[in-house]
Amino acid sequence: MANGPLTAVGQIEEGTSDFMDIICFSHLRWDYVWQRPQHLLSRFGRDDRVVFVEEPLPSEDSARPASVERTDPTPGVTVLRPRVPADQTGWELERTVRGLLGIEWARLRVSRPVVWFYTPMALPLALDLRAAATVYDCMDELAAFKEAPELLPLRERALLDRADLVFTGGPSLFEAKRRRHAHTYCFPSSVDAVHFAQARVKQRDPLDQREIARPRIGFFGVLDERFDRELVAGMAEACPGWSFVMLGPIAKIGREDLPAKENIHYLGMKRYTDLPSYIAGWDVALIPFARNEATRYISPTKVLEYMAAGKPVVSTSIPDIVRPYGEQGLARIADTPGAAVIAVREAMTEDVNHRLAAFDRYLSTTSWDQTYRRMRDLIEATVRRRALPSAQAN
């Protein structure tokens, strides 16, 4: 690990743009919920070649040998999805995937790539790569999540020793990682404001939302152990005339674990391109995250996306939402059904023009394009530094 000052996001040298090969190992699938990895790496793909390596899946045909599925979902980005025998686990699985990827590196003529990690569990898969730089983009404290691998903390320590740069998805994660790596930078989740601003103008209500009564209180995101089921159930029971619209896939919990009320509508996962048409028909946007270990360090992208859509935000007291959004009056904070009901009522009666003006002032300070450019400058400077003879001799 390189030595250097602890650094926040603003302290970045500008650099010239050089073509890079970027190989990213992710625990999230490219065609899942569109979030930080897709926002950033699709932008890198405009100027570079990005190879996005997903976690392996069991082969659909038990007789079929291990293989790699390849797709090109967006210009500059190739997705590799290893398919392996269902009975392989642990070290045997890693050896198989590492061998498959070695064939891909040769086919793609990969040389001196930037190796980018979202999951430390993939560290052994990158051992055959002679990295120009190693980046750990820590968007969540994965060890705190339900069903986290036991090896994850150990792998993260090894990755932090190996990494040249550590990016964090929010201030809380920055504080947690900065003492463990000298080149840690805080890059809070940002927003494609133009995309979500479509919700500020009248949209045709999607078919599955069209018959849902108003007012509508909406949420989009993964419904998992972070979802505060008691809060949503309590709000729905207290206000039977309100409709609660929940968009997103269910993960790590069962459908039967979600609150079942007549006025709670689970509409499933939606395409990123379709989200503005749904949000346009909401009255208030909700962030009902439970306060537990899985949410202690999260910095939800959806706060800014709700703001760009022009909808008032009511959230539980997630630290990275309380500061800055709650403190600046950009989101109402409520942790109980009663407090959340009051906050929603206030939100539905506030001055819309005042709200939009406050949102737009804040949104003018951030974008995924800005985040991409700042990250790229840091990576290019690191690659150039490591290419110097003095660095190669160390």
Tens of pLDDT, residue by residue over 292-340, are 887 888 888 899 999 999 999 999 999 999 999 999 999 999 999 999 9
Place of tokens 């291990």: 66
Residue 352 pLDDT grade (very low, low, confident, very high; cuts 50, 70, 90): very high
Phi, psi of 378 (to 5 degrees): -65, -45
Based on the fold, state whether residues 334 and 231 are members of the same structural domain: yes
Identify the DSSP state of 2. Answer: -
What is the distance between the alpha carbons of residues 119 and 269, in angstroms, rounded to a whole number?
23
Number of domains in the chain: 2
43 domain residue, yes or no: yes
30, 73 Cβ separation under 8 angstroms: yes
- Tell me what the pLDDT averaged over the chain comes to: 92
Based on the fold, state whether residues 130 and 230 are members of the same structural domain: no
What is the distance between the alpha carbons of residues 308 and 363, in angstroms, rounded to a whole number?
7
120, 159 Cβ separation under 8 angstroms: yes
Radius of gyration, CA atoms only, the chain: 22
Identify the DSSP state of 127. Answer: T
| Model pLDDT for residues 276-294, shown as the tens digit of each residue | 999 999 999 999 999 988 7
Closest among 84, 169, 163, 92 to 123, alpha carbons compared: 163
The answer to whether residue 14 scores a pLDDT higher than 50 is no
In what helix (H) or strand (E) does residue 15 lie, and over which residues does it extend?
none
Based on the fold, state whether residues 57 and 175 are members of the same structural domain: yes
| Residue-level pLDDT at 12 | 32
Encode 314-369 in three state secondary structure: EECCCHHHHHHHHCCCCCEECCCHHHHHHHHHHHHHCCHHHHHHHHHHHHCCCCHH
Taking CA 46 as the corner, what is the angle to CA 44 and CA 52, rounded to the nearest 5 degrees? 50
Q: Give the range of the structural domain holding residue 252, as residue numbers without chain letter.
A: 193-363
Based on the fold, state whether residues 146 and 267 are members of the same structural domain: no
Based on the fold, state whether residues 58 and 185 are members of the same structural domain: yes
Specify the CATH number for the domain of residue 130.
3.40.50.2000
| Model pLDDT for residues 189-209, shown as the tens digit of each residue | 899 999 999 999 999 999 999
Residue 17 pLDDT grade (very low, low, confident, very high; cuts 50, 70, 90): low
Based on the fold, state whether residues 149 and 231 are members of the same structural domain: no
Residue 6 pLDDT grade (very low, low, confident, very high; cuts 50, 70, 90): very low
Based on the fold, state whether residues 357 and 227 are members of the same structural domain: yes
What is the distance between the alpha carbons of residues 97 and 67, in angstroms, rounded to a whole number?
9
**Would the CA dihedral through 111, 117, 121, 123 be positive or negative?**
positive
226, 298 Cβ separation under 8 angstroms: yes
15 domain residue, yes or no: no
| Model pLDDT for residues 36-76, shown as the tens digit of each residue | 999 999 999 999 999 999 999 998 776 778 999 999 999 99
Identify the DSSP state of 302. Answer: H
